[in-house]
Structure 1
C-alpha cells in the first residue's frame, strides 16, 4: 500500500497539471475515488482507483441558485417545516434544462429569499450567490411577481378596476397592477412590492375570498416547463448561468 496523499496531489501526478487546476477539477465534481465523486481536494487517497472527467475545462465553482416549487403547507423561510429541507439531490427536477453539474456543496448555506406564505405554493428562490441575494433584497419593490389566485364569492361590480388602480392600504395606495380572470374562479395578478397577506386582503376588499395562491414568476424567472409539463411541487431546478430576475 502506498502512503496516503491529498487527492489534489494525486490528480496533479495523473494529469501533469497545476495544483490549482487539480483542485478545480475536484471541486467541480469531476474526480471520483473508487466510483464515488469526491469534492474535497484534501481527501486522502492511497491505492484507490482515481477517475477524472477532463471533458470540461476546470474553472471556479460558481455559487448555486436553486428554484424550488414550494408545496402548500411548507414554510418558505422560518418555521418548523422549512422549504430548504426539500432541496436534496433526489428531488432535482428530471427536466432541469440548466445543464449545471450537481455538486454536494450546492446544498450548503442556501439562503431562502422572496417570502411566500406557508399555505401558498409556487416559485421560491434559495441561493448561495451574494449577487442574487442583493438583487432580490435591495430591488424587491421593483421586481414584478405573478400569481394565480383561486377565489370564492362574487366580485363587486367594479372590483377588477379597483384592484388594478391600487386600493387604499395603510394610509396610502397600493401600486397599480395587472389583474385578469383566468377562469370563473381563478384570478391572475402581476404586481410589485407584494407583502405577506396582501393578496388575501385585496381579494377581500372586492367581495372575494382567496382559497389558494400559487406564485408563477419572480421578475423574468418562472417556475419552468419541460417535455413532461411544468415542474411539480417539491421539485427544484438550478438557475442557469445568464438567466436574470
Structure 2
C-alpha cells in the first residue's frame, strides 16, 4: 500500500479557506513536535577535490548549470576569498559561502510529495504578493534549500515533487530521460476522436513541435469530460496549450503522477516525505 512507502514523517496542512500563510502558522506547533521525533540525517562527506560548481550542486543549492551562474555573478567565496572562476577546484574541507551563507555537507537525498493547491505559485517569492507554496513550506520549517521538480502553474493543482538534491531534480525534469507525467483534466463538452488523434500524433503549437501525448477519455458527465493525459516532456503549460490547440477548454488540471511518484489519496494541501526512487539515469 501507498502508506507503507511513507518515509520518516508526514506534514499535514488541512485544506481550508485560510491563506497559505495562516495555514503555516496553524501548523507550526505540530511541525515542531514532528521535528523532535525525526531521526538525525547522516551527512555524506565526499573527500575528493571537485569543481566549485559541483560542490554547490552537491550541497543542494542549485543545479550545476545554475551554480556556474551563481559563481560568475560573484556570490561565492572560498575560505574568505571571492571566486568567480567556475573551474576553480575545492575540497569538502574548504569553507564555501553563497551570499555569505556557509555551505554544509549535503544531506542524504530526500524527497517529498506535495498536493499543491489551486491558486499557489511554485516559486520562492512573487513581486505581486500572490501566495507561493515555497514560502508556505519555509514557514512550516522545511529545509532552506528544498527545490521543486518542475513547475505547476498558478491554476494547476496536484502532485508537486520536492527534493534537497539539485542534480536529482534536473534528471527528473530533463526531456532526455523521458520521465512520464500524468494528469487528470476536466474539459468542457465531449471530446471527438479526431481531437485525441491530433494530440497523439504530436501537435505543433505556435511553431513549437510537441511530442505525442497519450490521451484517454475517463468519463463524460453533465456536458463535461474527464481525460487522462500522459506526456514525457515538461514544456511550459504544455497540457493547457496542447488542449487549447484542439479547441478544448480546460476547467481543471490535476497532476497525479510524476515518474515513479504518485499522488494517490494524499489530501489537498498535505505534504508527505517518501522514499526516494532511483535516478532515471540508472
Q: TM-score range by the shorter chain?
A: 0.5 to 0.7
Asked whether the equivalents of residues 138 and 144 of structure 2 are also in contact (C-alpha less than 8 Å), the reply is no
Assess, with a 3 A threshold, how the Cα gap between structure 1 residues 57 and 73 changes in structure 2: closer, same or farther: closer
RMSD value over aligned CA atoms? 3.2
Structure 1 position 214, deviation (Å): 0.2
The 10-residue stretch of structure 1 (209-218 or 122-131) with the greater mean CA deviation from structure 2: 122-131
| 2:144 is the alignment partner of 1:108 | yes
- 1:233 is paired with a residue whose SS is coil
Instruction: Give ranges in structure 2 of 5+ residues lacking alignment.
Output: 1-32, 44-106
Structure 1 position 169, deviation (Å): 2.3
Relative to the length of structure 1, the TM-score reads 0.61
CA deviation string 1:10-32 (max 9, x = no partner): xxxxxxxxxxxxxxxxxxxxxxx
- The correspondence for 1:165, drawn from 195, 201, 205, is 201
- The correspondence for 1:215, drawn from 236, 242, 255, is 255
Asked whether the equivalents of residues 205 and 245 of structure 2 are also in contact (C-alpha less than 8 Å), the reply is no
- Once residues 153 and 40 of structure 2 are traced to their aligned partners in structure 1, the CA distance between those partners, rounded to angstroms, is 42
- The correspondence for 2:116, drawn from 61, 65, 70, is 70
The correspondence of residues 35-54 of structure 1 with structure 2, limited to 5 A, is none
The 10-residue stretch of structure 1 (178-187 or 122-131) with the greater mean CA deviation from structure 2: 122-131
Structure 1 position 66, deviation (Å): 1.6
Relative to the length of structure 2, the TM-score reads 0.54
Count of matched residue pairs: 177
Asked whether the equivalents of residues 144 and 191 of structure 1 are also in contact (C-alpha less than 8 Å), the reply is yes
Asked whether the equivalents of residues 203 and 209 of structure 1 are also in contact (C-alpha less than 8 Å), the reply is yes
Flag the structure with larger Rg. Answer: 1
Assess, with a 3 A threshold, how the Cα gap between structure 1 residues 199 and 59 changes in structure 2: closer, same or farther: closer
- The correspondence for 1:233, drawn from 246, 249, 268, is 268
Asked whether the equivalents of residues 149 and 160 of structure 2 are also in contact (C-alpha less than 8 Å), the reply is yes
